[in-house]
Structure 1
Amino acid sequence: MIYSAILIAALTLLLSFIIERLSGALRFPAVAALIIAGIVGNPLLASLGITLFGLDQVVPVIGTLGLVLIVLDGALDIKLTRPALRAASMAFASALAGFVACLLFFASLAMALLDLDGFQACLLAVPFAVISSAVAIPSSQGLDAKTREFVVYESSLSDIVGVLVFFALASSDGSLVDITRQLAGGGAISLILSVCCALALAYALMSIEGQVRHLPALAALFALYAIGKIYHFSPLLMVLLFGLAMNNPGWMTRLPFRREGISSEYPATLDSFKSLATELTFAVRGFFFILLGYWTDLAALANPYAWLAAIVILTIIYTSRYSLLRVMKMESRDMLLWVAPRGLITVLLFINARQLIHVPDYLNGAVLIVVIASALMVMLSRPATAQQGT
């Protein structure tokens, strides 16, 4: 049994690597390919008498690790300049406005069609209102630097806003006053703690010498993230700030407690840390989406109501995004229109929502259809994107 588990884990990693390479060559979204591989793998393993147990606990854990690593990996590619800060403010406005618009649309539909009250409808709507950085950031690789920065900021901030709102709702008593209190208090505390923890971690990694330092730093990052989640803060903001601090050490020297210059060895340290983050991101992301496919109930995918719900959800997503980008007069709106995928964060929040309220079974299938279809929309827009980005 032990060696079978090792074999399955190793083959899953190798399969993820092959799928990632082939997806890049064939211009097919890796997320969709990984999920399909998991769906196909379920009956294949069953025919060999192999069944994977405990996925209800394993999939959310792997997904959370993947979310942290993907946001970190994206932030480690961003250089903070004045134009970049302006782009970040635009991205925050876009992320917030897009989230609110989708939340209102989806909550209204849930109240009208599923007989949910306003509180329950908002809980169910949040997962579908969030842009997934787990899909958006890797999908932005072919874009020009300016547009890629916008995608990294927008998707990461959308994740942060979505997580903050969802757990403010989940922790409240359902009244507007308590939801506002949870949101305002949690947001302020999250921001303060995130800045402090991110700077402390970055300072520690810059100062510690020795060969073993990257994994302990990541372990501390995961530990702080878990503590933040336990107390219903939004520690994803800390992850984003930590990555930005690491890739922009010049900003650290402006702080009162960090007046000395950056070591000449720091660029090599940063490169090795980036390499480790990229490798771990690949592994965790591959495991998550393959296991998600394996975990999927095929009967839910075959339900016509699941497809109808997915079509309605996707229509709202892209209609609201098109309107928003036009109102904001974004220069790259033709590129950005389709870069609004749902993915890892959607699945994780939906799993949490399903534990708090009763939802129709067909929505389980609708979630996966939305994830795959939105990833495909990014892929289908890539020829035009690549042409404009060159």
Structure 2
Amino acid sequence: MDIFSSYNLIIEASVILILSFWFNGLSRKTNIPSVLMLIVLGIVLQYVAKAFVDQLPDLFPALEVLGIVGLIMIVLEASLELELRKDKIWVLLKSMAIALMGLGLSAWIAALILHSLIPEMSIPQAWVYATPLSILSSAIIIPSVTRLREEKREFHIYESTFSDIAGIILFYFLIGQLNPEEGTGVAGFAGSILLTIVIAIIASYVIILIFQGIKSQAKQFLLIAVLLLLYAIGKKFHLSSLIIILIFGLVIANMKLFFAGPLKKYLKEDRAKQIYKELHIITLESAFVVRTFFFVVFGITIILSSLLSIRVLLISILILTSIYGIRFVLLRTFYGKDIFPQLFIAPRGLITVLLFYAIPEEAKVAAFDQGILLFIIIGTSVIMTWAMIRSRKKPATGEVIDLEITNQVVEEEE
């Protein structure tokens, strides 16, 4: 039986998407992240496939492309939901501070752990390996926190988005420093980021002005194609391309803010709003499809036997402990005692996998076991699952107050 024939692949892909949709519904009822279910589905499919074929095909190229497109869609989806209002500034700044400090401290401690327990790994190499392990996964967090209170949900969207972008910037900066010929230093790298921001702002205005004049109904995928093109070209010129996607999303989601004053006359508000609504729907749907196949394919590539090493367990547990220890200190400092379930919502996922595969040959260390990557991804996802289930059973403070007021009103009426 050829399980990879054209019609079989169509059947398999369709069943996976149907199951993913069902997983989303199950996730809303149980608070178990749908991404974790997709990874488990991938692992099951791996063993089912091995019963029919001797060797699975190399799925890395597909995983890489799915990951890049998924990352773009997820960041665009998140940025389209970010409102830049005065009453949101404090939440935004706190989220950014926690994301940046959490990333930096987690990477530093993880690098020390890796360097100490893997002697073959130098400090610069340890930093390269530690950075992907320190980045929050917006691909897992954003669809998983929809049932949290608004302020907590917004915090997680801001934090995970900032963590994604800052983590990718830090990773490629570290890679550049390993190669003296390509390294530009801190000043050069900061200049590259500033140049990316300027290009992103100009490109955002140009895209909106052009697309609001296009009368054709089939223009949303054209817009996505333009964004993908800008991202890929930016990567070719070693720019922080994800910033382009983030800024475009912010500009079109907050068009009144960016087209204020003299620029207001150039904005066709009705058409621009229509572009925003249609783009939001298509981005949401596309992110769902790409995320589904990425995590299923990732599950298919997982080697469970790599989790049985004592050194893998020791390193992974130490890194997990440092992740939640640092997170506890930061959340208590900025948010006081109300830090549940935020403390345990720190999964690693899509970007972590993508960046590990992007480590260049000169930075790779043969002694590093891929089981560490797998253990931390699964471990953080399971911990998050436990916290989300606990938070579902535990009513929020506001809900308790509302219940007390309702009971008091009923008693007075009686």
**TM-score (ref. length: structure 1):** 0.91
What whole-Å deviation, never above 9, does each CA across 1:346-379 have from its counterpart, x for those lacking one?
Answer: 1111122274433356631221221122122222
Number of the residue aligned with 1:357: 363
Number of the residue aligned with 1:164: 169
Alpha-carbon contact 1:119-1:174 (below 8 Å) kept: no
- Cα distance between partner residues in 2 of 1:64 and 1:332: 35
Number of the residue aligned with 1:65: 69
Residue 67 and residue 255 in structure 1: after superposition, are their counterparts in 2 closer, same or farther (change >3 A)?
farther
Structure of higher CA gyration radius: 2
- Cα distance between partner residues in 2 of 1:261 and 1:183: 34
Q: 1:93 aligns with which of 84, 91, 97?
A: 97
In structure 1, the residue corresponding to 2:365 is in which secondary structure?
A: coil
Note the 1:34-45 alignment, pairs <5 A. Answer: 34-45=38-49
Alpha-carbon contact 1:102-1:320 (below 8 Å) kept: yes
Number of the residue aligned with 1:53: 57
Q: Does 1:139 align with 2:135?
A: no
Q: Which moved more, 1:209-218 or 1:362-371?
A: 362-371
In structure 2, the residue corresponding to 1:370 is in which secondary structure?
A: helix
Unaligned runs of 5+ in 1: none
Q: Does 1:320 align with 2:345?
A: no
Amino acid at match of 2:152: T
Amino acid at match of 2:303: D
Q: Which moved more, 1:246-255 or 1:315-324?
A: 246-255
Give how far 1:195 is off: 2.3
Number of the residue aligned with 2:278: 272
Q: Which moved more, 1:66-75 or 1:84-93?
A: 84-93
Number of the residue aligned with 2:13: 9
Residue 50 and residue 64 in structure 1: after superposition, are their counterparts in 2 closer, same or farther (change >3 A)?
farther
Unaligned runs of 5+ in 2: 400-414
Q: 1:185 aligns with which of 178, 182, 191?
A: 191
- Cα distance between partner residues in 1 of 2:387 and 2:101: 23
Note the 1:216-235 alignment, pairs <5 A. Answer: 216-235=222-241
Q: 1:246 aligns with which of 238, 242, 252?
A: 252
Residue 331 and residue 169 in structure 1: after superposition, are their counterparts in 2 closer, same or farther (change >3 A)?
same
Identical columns (%): 30
- Cα distance between partner residues in 2 of 1:292 and 1:11: 17
- Cα distance between partner residues in 2 of 1:220 and 1:62: 18
Alpha-carbon contact 1:325-1:333 (below 8 Å) kept: yes
Alpha-carbon contact 2:131-2:171 (below 8 Å) kept: yes
Amino acid at match of 2:81: D
Amino acid at match of 2:251: A
Give the aligned CA root-mean-square deviation in angstroms: 2.4
In structure 2, the residue corresponding to 1:142 is in which secondary structure?
A: coil
Residue 353 and residue 140 in structure 1: after superposition, are their counterparts in 2 closer, same or farther (change >3 A)?
same
Q: 1:150 aligns with which of 135, 155, 166?
A: 155
- The number of equivalent residue pairs is 389
Q: Which moved more, 1:335-344 or 1:49-58?
A: 49-58
**TM-score (ref. length: structure 2):** 0.86
Q: Which moved more, 1:115-124 or 1:362-371?
A: 362-371
Amino acid at match of 2:231: Y
Give how far 1:266 is off: 4.5
Alpha-carbon contact 1:98-1:324 (below 8 Å) kept: yes
Q: 1:32 aligns with which of 25, 33, 36?
A: 36
Q: Which moved more, 1:93-102 or 1:256-265?
A: 256-265
Alpha-carbon contact 2:125-2:363 (below 8 Å) kept: yes
Give how far 1:101 is off: 0.5
Q: Does 1:341 align with 2:365?
A: no
Amino acid at match of 2:347: P
What whole-Å deviation, never above 9, does each CA across 1:148-178 have from its counterpart, x for those lacking one?
Answer: 2221121111111111111111123467x85
- Cα distance between partner residues in 2 of 1:102 and 1:170: 18
Q: 1:285 aligns with which of 280, 286, 291?
A: 291
What whole-Å deviation, never above 9, does each CA across 1:13-71 have from its counterpart, x for those lacking one?
Answer: 22322222223323212111111111110120122338652312110110111111111
Amino acid at match of 1:380: W
Number of the residue aligned with 1:311: 317
Number of the residue aligned with 1:118: 123
- Cα distance between partner residues in 1 of 2:147 and 2:300: 29
In structure 2, the residue corresponding to 1:264 is in which secondary structure?
A: helix
Q: Which moved more, 1:62-71 or 1:328-337?
A: 328-337
